[in-house]
Structure 1
Amino acid sequence: MQNFEEKFKNVKYKPFTRQQMIDCIEGRGAPRPGVAFGTWVHLDLLSEDKQEVLKKLYEEYPEDMQEFYVVKPSVFGKEGETYTWCDVPNADPSIGRTKKVGVDEETAISWETYRKISKDVPDINYPDMFKNAPEEDGRYRLAWMSDGPWTSIWRYRGMTNSLMDLYTNPEDVHDINRRVLRFHKAICKRGKEEAHIDGVAFGDDLGMQRGSFISPEMYREFYFPYHKELCDYAHSLGLHVWMHCCGDCFNLIPQFIEAGIDVLHPIQKYTMDEKQVKETYGNDLSFWVGMDLQRVLPFGNEQDAINETRFLIDTYYRPETGRTIFTVNNRLEDNVPIENVVAFLKEAYRYGSEAGGKKDE
């Protein structure tokens, strides 16, 4: 394990310790909002000049936690492969495909094919599951799992079919949910033991630009039980559960809280009212606040990014509780001016520290 003080002795803003992040998430206060871009910024997807800017920036402004991806199972396994979501030979519908299909339909298989998948895949004992885990350095450690049950059904059936399946094949939908839950619970257990993680994260994009994909009643029937069982299990191990949910999920947040979700990302701008969300649920939930990637960062200027950062801090952050960590609201793409990203990150630290009662360094 690296020495925290030694590693970060020359940075502009010292990152949170593990305990400070835990306190921030659990509402015991934080000296400033947390900042953790992590898995939402894939450097290899950006141009080389932008990569260099961000690498230098991270050296001066290190993130407040260590995030990494659990190695994901393949969608369609090769013969004999067990770390896969589908081990049925030649099940990949792209084999022999001559016509283009929608991106959400690229891996869609029939229920007949799905029912042939072995019950024990993905292999929960896969030895390299945590090979991406960085060396411990005293910061909070978050492991990103594969998609949650709702997003996972798209992988098997495509989005259009998935919406119909809730009505036509409910038992098959529950079978997918149980398969995903089995895998996620194994990640929790092994992640705690092998990678010394503090939290797990998954994505279930239940929101659209206007409203949720499914009603609260449908969520209650098909997804709440699995989210709750995951949260109960993770909490029994001392882990937090972080959930990514794009779009407008306002009508589902009460059930997210009941299920035990600890941190919600991104509270997407232009789909939900940030102040309403904070005022309604800020005592029961922490927010991994996502800076807007639809309008502000890609099409605004540096001052727009600074102004939006201040708005988000004023809206979400309270020094006495914390409960606020900043990132972008989805994967950072190369169309975003790097100057805007830098302005956002620097202002999150500067203005956030000021809001927490500290002076500029």
Structure 2
Amino acid sequence: MKTVPFTRQEMIDCIEGRPTRRPAVAIGTWIHLDQLSEDKQRRLEKLYADYPFDMEAFYIKKPATFGQPGDRFCWCDVKDADPHIGRTKSVGVDEENAISWEVYDQITPELPDPAGVDLFEGWPEDDGRYRMAWLSYGPWSRIWEYRGMTNSLMDLYTDPARVQSINDRTMRWFKEVIDQVAAGHRADAIGFGDDHGMQKGPFMSPKMFRKFYFPFYKELCDYAHSRGLHVWLHCCGDAMKLLDQFILAGFDVLHPIQKYAMDETAVMEKYGGKIAFWSGMDLQQILPFGSQEDVRQEVHHLVDTFYAPQKTRTIFTVSNRLEDNVPVENIEAFIQEVYAYTEGPTPAAADAGCTGA
């Protein structure tokens, strides 16, 4: 081991703005080793052993998108509602599950129902690090999973009551999961994704967001905080116009502050210290196509922007799910350079005769 991971309390201090010995490094749910080539898996397993992350993140078992009548752990139990059945032509990924409101209105009201399901299957024992339960989709992602992106944008105007019903269904599911987390599965946070940002702005105006999604987020954050949990939000794209509302709602951590969509310096100048930034290394250009030196220079930019000098509430990761097109050398350069640039050799490294990354 070349670095010593944060204790649970050190990670809490980082998120809540108290001084820490370096920024946190918490990859979370963004690197799935089983989806990478075997060579990358072996090299990254070695990397993780040398540089153990400051957080463990675990997926909550996800309900199926479609089921049949009688299925309880799904989002839609209407007979043969899955539009994949009988489909003869391809559609866009954001439309592939789209159903009509007529079908939606037939879904059993209390679904998905987690009763009798082990939501925490495969979770390892607590090793003293900070732990996050990842709940997958939030309410905005949930509506376009039901309706498709094109319909969903129109639904905000034409069917606000049904949009609210989806928010209510999602809230009930989230609260049931939070209750189970708090009842016996030691975790410090919940996290989920809701991609409100496009490359050059949000999908909806701040006014529309305030009407449909701010109340959901505020209620959720208040509920999670009442059970002793932080709330982490993943939001791709340019969400600058929504950050005030994210902060007011009570989110503790925001990911990724996406390069080429958001101006990291402008974000820090306006919002630094008001929320923890789970800052993501760029996956559009730098990690997949840059050199190792490009990666190291970008690490310096991220650290200088989000952490140094004397800035807190900073956690580093990648900007989204890492795919197999990223050279493993660039992943290694990213993780090693974060430690080398912010910490240097730790006591553990010195004891082992190491000189740093």
- Whether the 8 Å CA contact 2:190–2:231 is kept in 1: the answer is yes
Shift of 1:320: 4.9
- Whether the 8 Å CA contact 2:253–2:276 is kept in 1: the answer is yes
Cα 1:126–1:204 change in 2 (3 A) is farther
Cα 1:123–1:291 change in 2 (3 A) is same
Q: Does 1:211 align with 2:201?
A: yes
For residues 204 and 303 of structure 2, the distance between their equivalents in structure 1, rounded to whole angstroms, comes to 31
- Whether the 8 Å CA contact 1:234–1:241 is kept in 2: the answer is yes
Q: Which amino acid in 1 is paired with 2:300?
A: R
Cα 1:265–1:355 change in 2 (3 A) is farther
Residue 281 of structure 2 is matched in structure 1 by: 291
Q: Does 1:254 align with 2:244?
A: yes
Q: Does 1:128 align with 2:118?
A: yes
CA deviations over 1:304-338 (Å, ceiling 9, x no partner): 00010011011001575521111100010111111
Which of 174, 183, 189 aligns to 2:164? It is 174
Gaps of 5+ in 2: none
Cα 1:25–1:85 change in 2 (3 A) is same
For residues 75 and 57 of structure 1, the distance between their equivalents in structure 2, rounded to whole angstroms, comes to 35
Q: Which amino acid in 2 is paired with 1:238?
A: G
For residues 259 and 22 of structure 2, the distance between their equivalents in structure 1, rounded to whole angstroms, comes to 22
CA deviations over 1:135-162 (Å, ceiling 9, x no partner): 1000000010020000111110000110
For residues 265 and 68 of structure 1, the distance between their equivalents in structure 2, rounded to whole angstroms, comes to 17
CA deviations over 1:23-47 (Å, ceiling 9, x no partner): 0000011111111113100112211
Q: TM-score, normalised on structure 1? A: 0.94
Residue 229 of structure 2 is matched in structure 1 by: 239
Residue 342 of structure 1 is matched in structure 2 by: 332
SS at 1:305 equivalent: helix
CA deviations over 1:224-245 (Å, ceiling 9, x no partner): 0001100000011111000000
SS at 1:66 equivalent: strand
Which of 147, 170, 194 aligns to 2:137? It is 147
Residue 50 of structure 1 is matched in structure 2 by: 40
For residues 146 and 305 of structure 1, the distance between their equivalents in structure 2, rounded to whole angstroms, comes to 28
Shift of 1:81: 1.5
Residue 95 of structure 1 is matched in structure 2 by: 85
Shift of 1:126: 4.0
Question: Kindly, what percent of the aligned residue pairs are identical?
Answer: 59
Which of 171, 186, 203 aligns to 2:176? It is 186
After superposition, the CA RMSD in angstroms is 1.6
Q: Does 1:19 align with 2:23?
A: no
Which of 249, 257, 265 aligns to 2:255? It is 265
Residue 31 of structure 1 is matched in structure 2 by: 21
SS at 1:162 equivalent: helix
For residues 326 and 44 of structure 2, the distance between their equivalents in structure 1, rounded to whole angstroms, comes to 13
Q: Which amino acid in 2 is paired with 1:175?
A: S
Residue 290 of structure 2 is matched in structure 1 by: 300
Shift of 1:201: 0.3
SS at 2:119 equivalent: coil
SS at 1:304 equivalent: helix
Residue 128 of structure 2 is matched in structure 1 by: 138
Q: After TM superposition, where is structure 1 displaced by more than 2 Å over at least 4 residues in a row? A: 124-127, 318-322, 358-361
Residue 31 of structure 2 is matched in structure 1 by: 41
- Whether the 8 Å CA contact 2:98–2:148 is kept in 1: the answer is yes
Q: Which amino acid in 2 is paired with 1:257?
A: I
- Whether the 8 Å CA contact 1:269–1:292 is kept in 2: the answer is yes
For residues 31 and 51 of structure 1, the distance between their equivalents in structure 2, rounded to whole angstroms, comes to 29
CA deviations over 1:173-223 (Å, ceiling 9, x no partner): 000011111111111121122211100001010000001100000000000
Aligned length: 350
- Whether the 8 Å CA contact 1:266–1:288 is kept in 2: the answer is yes
Q: Which amino acid in 2 is paired with 1:335?
A: N
Which of 95, 100, 103 aligns to 1:105? It is 95
For residues 250 and 310 of structure 1, the distance between their equivalents in structure 2, rounded to whole angstroms, comes to 23
For residues 188 and 352 of structure 1, the distance between their equivalents in structure 2, rounded to whole angstroms, comes to 35
- Whether the 8 Å CA contact 2:135–2:191 is kept in 1: the answer is yes
For residues 103 and 328 of structure 2, the distance between their equivalents in structure 1, rounded to whole angstroms, comes to 45
Shift of 1:354: 4.7
- Whether the 8 Å CA contact 2:273–2:312 is kept in 1: the answer is no
For residues 51 and 18 of structure 2, the distance between their equivalents in structure 1, rounded to whole angstroms, comes to 24
SS at 2:301 equivalent: helix
SS at 1:335 equivalent: coil
- Whether the 8 Å CA contact 2:2–2:345 is kept in 1: the answer is no
Cα 1:94–1:215 change in 2 (3 A) is same
For residues 308 and 133 of structure 2, the distance between their equivalents in structure 1, rounded to whole angstroms, comes to 26
Q: Does 1:311 align with 2:272?
A: no
- Whether the 8 Å CA contact 2:232–2:253 is kept in 1: the answer is yes
